Structure 1
């Protein structure tokens, strides 16, 4: 089959138009495909072929994209690995994926135990580029590992039907044309970066610029120089941007819109970002298991603050009660997703797959509700729900109340084990630079706006919240540090 997200297909359509750039250079569609053909020839000589997996352990740079397209040219797949992983972490993913080779930055970089190809040794020219194999819709394309926020990381199998559908649907939804230009700032080991910032624009003949590393102090310099029409980021990045000194007044006129996803964001951060920088911010929602996005507010049209928009085209969202029946309008329940972007399954884990995808419906583990217009409002993760003396408490509700206090930049609420009540809510808050927050005043604010059972037993003002590699607040890490804090207090 011929897919529009493959490099040779795009080169045939867009030729010498600019395609992709990073901190080291830029390439047209023809030049990109030439690099892909050269590296594919090198991989073929090494014995890489259909059904094989290539581990790519690189920071954000164009070679990661070249490696992905080269593996696909030969009928293989890639598993992108966080380059900040230790050898132990890399070995776990590379070993589980069965990767035949690993691309690394140097001999001392983690390789996961696979035979390595150094990035500087990747072939860039050849007279013998292999012809692209005829990949099928169910050929594995990407093996993306979950962050492990709900347990041991699992390999999410995404095939070419998934990647083709997601990049096409997202491109349609955000109305990409050849005049668009994405600025990629999220890590390329995450499916959001691959789908929203690389494949969606490239298949439309648009450009992508890869930022090697995100820095809030230099980010707007890059925006003013590159003049992108959009970028996709996580709430933490927007929090860092709105925390910049007031004298930072960038030119953001090139930006048609910006995307916020990967984790819930407070209404206050959305409003502050839009007011300060003039962002047309569209919030979306999805999972790796759904190939990135399943709901998104429109770029043009009705944008409902506090929702993540309606279901994307070709996808369906249901809200179900614990007994499996459909919830009413505005009634919370588990979010279920169906459509062409639902994963093939978890690699080597049929039990987890069977629990997650049932009769074609992806069970997300998220609690949400649909309004009368079909816009999805997220409530919380089912596993993050706190049960205090038999009362169900959703941390996101408490976090939203805390985020409304002047000076609060981020807030996270977790359940702390309690011998009498089972669990009690505990809050951790980060202040804006220069802001002063009083912990008891924050609790009093919660008493004013929340039922007594939902008021945190403690509010801790901290310098930073733990984050996972994608930038989401890590509730498991926060629970660990809170357990240590609670144990220390008991010992005093």
Structure 2
């Protein structure tokens, strides 16, 4: 059975990313502030974003010989100048690869080599890691530049390559070129090595931005937004940089998340919309500090990158009276597949509906197409599906079938881990939780088992494990009970966006005793 979006199909852009995000459909003036540093107050207006990015593009070409199709890497925490570098590279006809700022030297080196990056822009705070990584990478010092204003150890600020006031005319793409030309090389979360390079084209990104514009009725020129995810991640890259510029909204940028600066910025700038990840919601609920700030300007929170349980969502609403809506996607789909219909009060805990121009199907383990309310693997088809994995045709062919459907790898489980996790987080002793499946020989099926971290003042014991287990079991249907038991762990393994690494939990489970 093929499932189609409830939205009618929409006309998609036939231009490159730069032309689209600066097309100004909402007719904002050039002096409208788009990006603002939440600490220093430094900002870029709509007009400045265009001028500065085109000047950087000229500098890349004039000073560094950057050519159409070349790759520039960014290794940095969020910066007010991050969008200038991204859009300057795109204007120059290049590709951007973003490296996670928590990478060590070996991880960074592997991504630089695999992506073929010829220029690297670095956050001064992690310059030493970059220098170590460069031992194995053939990028000369003159092509390694820094965010900020200072020269450090011979490495110059990126603005040092600007050619005065010269601006270039951004590279244009025909419709076919937009479909085939890679704009971003983003890497999947690898737990033991650098992940696969995901090639997203100009058409992939502009399609997804247009799909989102048709589905998101909350974001506009009036919006003052803030996000907590890094721009090295697809969520931050597309939402905080691209969607904000396209809509003519304003976003407050912080290099990292801290609860006090986060809440202080909401109060100071009267933030109206927040792009969050589940750990942010958990911290706001658990830390009394959040109660000391006025967060009443926030109209809506959009949560993504990992599932948010409805229990935690409801608890947050009870405390702050701010509605949370969830979206779902992956890097390979540029990144959004489903989005909440905010105007129609999407069911709490749901991830919304398919965005326009998408089709989906659910497949069983043996490849049969399934119907409504049948758990299986989700496959999707649409204009936002990646070009493929870089240098890896075998991996690409394994996830994109002959009809162009992409295998998400996500399963519609009868027992949703996030539901059990949200209940576990309401127990007084539990600070964090991760649920996975455990195959029971006795029951001849997979049953839920939970790893939990406990708060200070509590001791790990069999009696506490049983107490927590009973606490959950009393609140769920029989098939959802934690029949696999409770295990204690010092830290729940998660990726940079807060998504629980369930595969890591399964690996750990092989060596752990079942309580």
3-state DSSP of counterpart to 2:263? helix
Q: Give the corresponding residue for 2:130.
A: 110
Q: Deviations over 1:390-426 (max 9, x none)?
A: xxx7755654664565654532124568899898754
Q: Deviations over 1:1-37 (max 9, x none)?
A: 6457546545996422212112441011111222212
- Among 357, 362, 367, which residue is 2:411 paired with? 367
Aligned-pair CA distance for 1:484: 5.8
Q: TM-score, normalised by structure 2?
A: 0.81
Aligned-pair CA distance for 1:316: 2.3
Aligned-pair CA distance for 1:280: 1.8
- Among 58, 69, 72, which residue is 2:90 paired with? 72
Matches within 5 A, 1:99-138: 99-106=117-124, 107-110=127-130, 112=133, 113=137, 114-115=139-140, 116-120=144-148, 121-123=157-159, 126-135=164-173, 136-138=177-179
In the alignment, the residues of structure 2 paired with residue 453 and residue 3 of structure 1 have an alpha-carbon distance, to the nearest angstrom, of: 48
Q: Give the corresponding residue for 1:254.
A: 297
Matches within 5 A, 1:304-343: 304-343=347-386
In the alignment, the residues of structure 1 paired with residue 465 and residue 306 of structure 2 have an alpha-carbon distance, to the nearest angstrom, of: 25
Q: Give the corresponding residue for 2:5.
A: none
Matches within 5 A, 1:468-479: 468-479=495-506
Q: Contact 1:286–1:294 at 8 Å: present in 2 too? A: yes
- The CA RMSD measured in Å over matched residues stands at 3.1
3-state DSSP of counterpart to 1:62? coil
Moved more, 422-431 or 465-474: 422-431
Q: Give the corresponding residue for 1:173.
A: 215
Q: Give the corresponding residue for 2:80.
A: 62
Q: Deviations over 1:469-490 (max 9, x none)?
A: 2222223444455556559x9x
Q: Give the corresponding residue for 1:48.
A: 66
**CA 1:16 to 1:68, structure 2 compared with 1: closer, same or farther past 3 Å?**
same
Q: Give the corresponding residue for 1:428.
A: 451
Matches within 5 A, 1:18-29: 18-22=33-37, 23-24=39-40, 25-29=42-46
Q: Give the corresponding residue for 1:354.
A: 397
Q: TM-score, normalised by structure 1?
A: 0.85
In the alignment, the residues of structure 2 paired with residue 243 and residue 35 of structure 1 have an alpha-carbon distance, to the nearest angstrom, of: 42
Structure 1: state its 5+ residue gaps.
Answer: 369-378, 381-392
Query: Which structure carries more relative contact order (alpha carbon 8 Å, separation 6+)?
Result: 2
Q: Give the corresponding residue for 1:268.
A: 311
3-state DSSP of counterpart to 1:108? helix
Number of residues paired by the alignment? 466
Moved more, 424-433 or 166-175: 424-433
- Among 147, 165, 185, which residue is 1:143 paired with? 185
In the alignment, the residues of structure 1 paired with residue 472 and residue 266 of structure 2 have an alpha-carbon distance, to the nearest angstrom, of: 39
Q: Contact 1:342–1:362 at 8 Å: present in 2 too? A: yes
Q: Deviations over 1:149-182 (max 9, x none)?
A: 6985111111111111222222332222211122
In the alignment, the residues of structure 2 paired with residue 435 and residue 14 of structure 1 have an alpha-carbon distance, to the nearest angstrom, of: 56
**CA 1:313 to 1:406, structure 2 compared with 1: closer, same or farther past 3 Å?**
farther
In the alignment, the residues of structure 2 paired with residue 110 and residue 360 of structure 1 have an alpha-carbon distance, to the nearest angstrom, of: 38
Q: Contact 1:297–1:308 at 8 Å: present in 2 too? A: yes
In the alignment, the residues of structure 2 paired with residue 291 and residue 56 of structure 1 have an alpha-carbon distance, to the nearest angstrom, of: 18
In the alignment, the residues of structure 2 paired with residue 246 and residue 127 of structure 1 have an alpha-carbon distance, to the nearest angstrom, of: 46
**CA 1:476 to 1:329, structure 2 compared with 1: closer, same or farther past 3 Å?**
closer
In the alignment, the residues of structure 2 paired with residue 299 and residue 409 of structure 1 have an alpha-carbon distance, to the nearest angstrom, of: 30
In the alignment, the residues of structure 2 paired with residue 402 and residue 290 of structure 1 have an alpha-carbon distance, to the nearest angstrom, of: 31
3-state DSSP of counterpart to 1:137? helix
Q: Deviations over 1:226-283 (max 9, x none)?
A: 2222111111111111111177143223222111111111111111112211212111
In the alignment, the residues of structure 2 paired with residue 395 and residue 30 of structure 1 have an alpha-carbon distance, to the nearest angstrom, of: 46
